[in-house]
Structure formats: structure tokens, C-alpha cells
Amino acid sequence: MPVLHNRISNEELKARMLAETEPRTTVSFYKYFHLDDPKAFRDRLYLELVKLNVFGRIYVAKEGINAQISVPQSQFEAFKQHLFECHPAFNNIRLNIALEDDGKSFWVLRFKVRERIVADGIDDETFDPSNVGEYLKAEQVNAMIDDPDTLFVDMRNHYEYEVGHFDNAIEIPSDTFRDQLPMAVDMLKEDKEKKIVMYCTGGIRCEKASAYMLHNGFKNVYHVEGGIIEYARRAKEQGLPVKFKGKNFVFDERMGERISDDVIANCHQCGAECDNHTNCLNDGCHLLFIQCPACAAKFDGCCSEICQTELKLPPEQQRALRAGRENGNKIFNKSKGLLQTTMHIPEPKDSASQE
């Protein structure tokens, strides 16, 4: 049986990717469909994608597939052909091509079997994820966003909303999609007769969210086809006004695609206008936060003086300090502030990789 995992260090794999000269295309896609044996499906598709030198992150589950990948441009047509032949569910699947792409989004292929392709926390056997809201194309989105009787609901995490969102969109302030679903139902419980438009990065979360809202008694539920990525692409192609302001956060090395020139966020350290996410360079922290170039220079890419001091210690001392420390996925939250989130308090383990 061929080896189905990597045996090379991340550092070497990343260096190899950066040394590549052939352009790559970053693409994301998802599909809800039933898989009897997700592991066998994963093994078969993994071997084919490795042959095409595809990098990225792919999750499969009994409910379908969720993928963000980069494909060598010379292999892109072969990739599409193989995907369409791999399973009948992939016929006419929508591929979301990245809007801003230097081809350096991923450096290795990680392919995992999970309980769900996006963690939703739903434990209700009567819930039907196939009963979804109505798709909206770009021109329909623009028409509805000016309708005072329509509510736009952002089904992304708070740190995604912070750097970019549709005008007047409702934020569901949470770190995780699983927490957002019941929060959205509760926050909108008085608006069940209104038109509700759900949106997210590439469509996977808002599609399931639309089904969950219908399941909870909402009547007029819509979701943006292909999410922000497809909306922005189609709006620009058709010469339509782009109603999304700022950046679209993405879950790869780029950490964002600029949709409009608006900068609607601020550096979490000095307050200057800035919408560039980064991870604290201290290996004992890696907090996700917004940092301007001036603060990056002042704090050596760290989120605080505490981390800056730790980063300058000899490697063996850094390792000793990290021993036994539960790092988790730390994400800056404006309601908590930097000091609280950089004192190495254990955080709940929940993947920040949503789409």
C-alpha cells in the first residue's frame, strides 16, 4: 500500500513550494453528498492529487467534501477532468477561483476524514442539510441589499467580519461556526417573517446555515451562491457595484483577498488603519491578530512585549517555557483585548479552518 502521508518536514516542503517557478491556481470547492466510505474515497483521491502535485487542505466526511487547494496551472485541466470523473456528485461542481493569488497559498497536501466537512455542532436527527435556502447570484444580492425588509447575516467568525463585510450586515460574534448557528437563531427570532440572506467565504457555511434557519422556522431564507468569492468575481465581471467592503479572510497562507480598497479594521496594538492578519511569531503563542507594519517592526512580529521577550530567548529556554503549555488556537477578540489573550491561558481546541 502506498504511503498516504508526508515524511518531509514542513520547513523543507515550504521551501520547495517557494522555489517553484511554475504558476499555481488557488481554488476552493465543496459539495454536500453522501459517502458510504469516506476513508476509501480519501485514499483514492489523495493518490490521484499527489500525482498532479496538488497542495492544500481537504476534508471528507459521510456528508461530502470541503477543499481549499492550489494546482499547478499546467495540471489544472487534468485536475478538473479527474475530479469530474471521480464521483457523479462532482458533475457541474462550482470551483471558486481565488481573486488575489500568488500561487503560494499551500505547500503540502493534507487530506483528512472528519465527522463533518465543517464543524456545526448539530445533534438533531430530524435536521435535513439538503433542505437549503434559495441561491442568490450577484445581481440579486445587490438588489436585495438595498431592500429595507431584508437582513444580511454574516456566517463567518468575528475576526473575518472585522476586516470585511457587506454594508449593514449583521455580525454573529463568535469564534466558531458551531456556536454561531444557535446564536443566529436566537438573535433573529423576532424576524422569522423577514427575508434573511446568509453569506460566508465560499458558500459552505451559509448553505448549511440556510438549512438550519429553515429547520428552525424561518420562512424566507436565501444564501449567496459561491459566497463572497463568487459574488465578487461575478460582480466585477458583469460591471456591477461591489457591495462587499474590505478584505475577505481566507484560511491559507494569504490570510485575505482584497475585495475593495476600503480598510475598515484597525491594528490591534496601536489602532492605526490596517486589515492585515498575522500570527504571533512566538512559537509559544501564534495568536491570530491584526498588526500594522510599524507595530510588526516594533514588536518583532509578536503580539506583545511578553512574546517579544520570549522570542529572543535561546531556543532551549523557549522550549522549556512551552513545555506543558496548552497553546490551542488563539484568536484576538476585541471584547477580550490583547493582554488577556497573550498570557498563554489555555484556549478551547477547535479548528479555525472553516472553508
Report which of 312, 253, 326 is spatially closest to residue 284, judged by C-alpha positions: 326
- The CA distance from 94 to 182, in Å, is 28
Nearest to 254 by CA among 100, 112, 142, 136: 100
Q: Measuring CA to CA, which residue among 263, 347, 268 is closest to residue 303?
A: 268
Residue in 200, 274, 285, 302 annotated catalytic: 200
Cell representation of residue 125: 436527527
Rg (CA), the chain: 21
Distance CA 68, CA 55 (A): 9
Q: Would you give the distance in Å from CA 57 to the centre of its chain? A: 11
Report CA-CA distances (Å) from 328 to 236, 308, 331, 341, 349: 39, 19, 10, 12, 5
Residues 6+ apart with CB under 8 A from 109: 6, 46, 49, 50, 54, 55, 56, 58, 69
- The length of the chain is 355
Catalytic site includes residue 303: no
d(CA 128, CA 241): 35
Is there a contact between 82 and 48 (Cβ–Cβ < 8 Å)? yes
The residue behind cell 499546467 is 74
- Enter the DSSP assignment of 312: T
State the catalytic residues: 200
